[in-house]
Amino acid sequence: MSGTLSVARAVARRSLIHALTNPALLVPSIIFPLVFLIGFAGGLSAVGNVPGFKFHGNYTAFVFVFVFLQSAAFGGVFTGFGIAADFESGFARRMLLASPHRSGMLLGYAIAGLVRWCLTAALVTVASLVAGMQVHGSGVQLVGLVGVALLVNITATLFGAGVSLRTKTLQAGPLMQIPIFVGLFLAPVYVPLKLLNGWINTVASYNPVTALITAGRGFISGAPEKSLIAFACGTALVALMSVYALRGLRRAERGL
């Protein structure tokens, strides 16, 4: 266990230094959520007045939850980019050869992705509060919102790691991004689920991301909804992506 943690610390430290000194990896993960927040909360604020739109809070808070979870997912994706970049530079191969406990590499990348996302999450939260976001949830409920976002971040990081460990190239970037985008935008982004019509309502109803977003909005509005389902879905996604990432690690090891 101590060997795994030492590897994780070394990988996390190196990954954070690389990310924080590389604008190509750092800036997009911060800018994208802020752009979505400005576009949604500002340009679409009138959507909150649509008949049947029921939410205990303003539209900025409604959109914030989506952007908050989106930033968590993007943080994981960009961590995957960093892993792919390490393979292209040859550094990841050297880490695989030098690490006595290679599972610690995944843990280290996950820690680095989490720390990077915390920076983005803080900026998105401050920007939302400046924009007039109303928060009705208690301290415990807001911790629940953060917990949901953590599950999203870990899931996306493990998915990105799994793709990178298999492809070992930044050209696989779309393979990391597209599934995340599809999962997020096939959920009730702009309006509550009940206001969606047609096939999108059916798809969103079975999309596990819907439960995560719904729970997050319930936490910030002070009216928890689908909390247990959200944490169950998030935990299941983390478990599934853990298997995917570990199998990718084993494949990378065989390629040494």
Concatenated DSSP letters for the chain?
Answer: -HHHHHHHHHHHHHHHHHHHT-HHHHHHHHHHHHHHHIIIIIHTGGGGGSTT---SS-HHHHHHHHHHHHHHHHHHHHHHHHHHHHHHHTHHHHHHHH-SSTHHHHHHHHHHHHHHHHHHHHHHHHHHHHTT------HHHHHHHHHHHHHHHHHHHHHHHHHHHHH-SGGGHHHHHHHHHHHHHTS-SSS-GGG--THHHHHHHH-HHHHHHHHHHHHHHT---SHHHHHHHHHHHHHHHHHHHHHHHHHHHHT-
Q: What is the model's pLDDT at position 28?
A: 77
Burial 182-192 (b: 16+ CB within 10 A, else e): ebbebbbbbbb
Q: Which two tokens stand for residue 197?
A: 């019509």
Quick one: average pLDDT of 33-60? 75
- Model pTM score: 0.90
Burial 204-236 (b: 16+ CB within 10 A, else e): beebbbbbbbbbbbbbbbeebebbeebbebbee
Q: What are phi and psi of 197, to 5 degrees?
A: -120, 160
116 CB contacts (<8 Å, ≥6 apart)? 16, 19, 20, 26, 29, 75, 78, 79
Cα 193 to chain centroid distance, Å, stands at: 21
Q: What is the pLDDT of residues 157-213, one digit of tens each?
A: 999 999 999 998 888 888 998 999 899 989 988 888 888 888 999 999 999 999 999
Q: What is the pLDDT of residues 114-137, one digit of tens each?
A: 998 998 999 999 988 988 888 998
Q: What is the pLDDT of residues 88-104, one digit of tens each?
A: 888 878 888 777 677 78
- CB atoms under 10 Å from CB of 156, counted, come to 30
Of the pLDDT bands very low, low, confident and very high (cuts 50, 70, 90), residue 156 is: very high
What percent of the chain is predicted at pLDDT more than 70?
Answer: 94
Cα Rg, the chain, nearest whole Å? 19
Measured between alpha carbons, how far is 176 from 159 in angstroms, rounded to an integer? 7
Domain boundaries, the chain: 2-254
Q: What is the model's pLDDT at position 43?
A: 65
Given CA atoms 187, 191, 192, 198 in this order, what sign does their dihedral have? negative
Yes or no: say if 6 and 12 are a contact pair by the CB < 8 Å rule. Answer: no
**Does residue 1 register a pLDDT over 60?**
no
Q: State the average pLDDT for the chain.
A: 86
**Does residue 85 register a pLDDT over 90?**
no
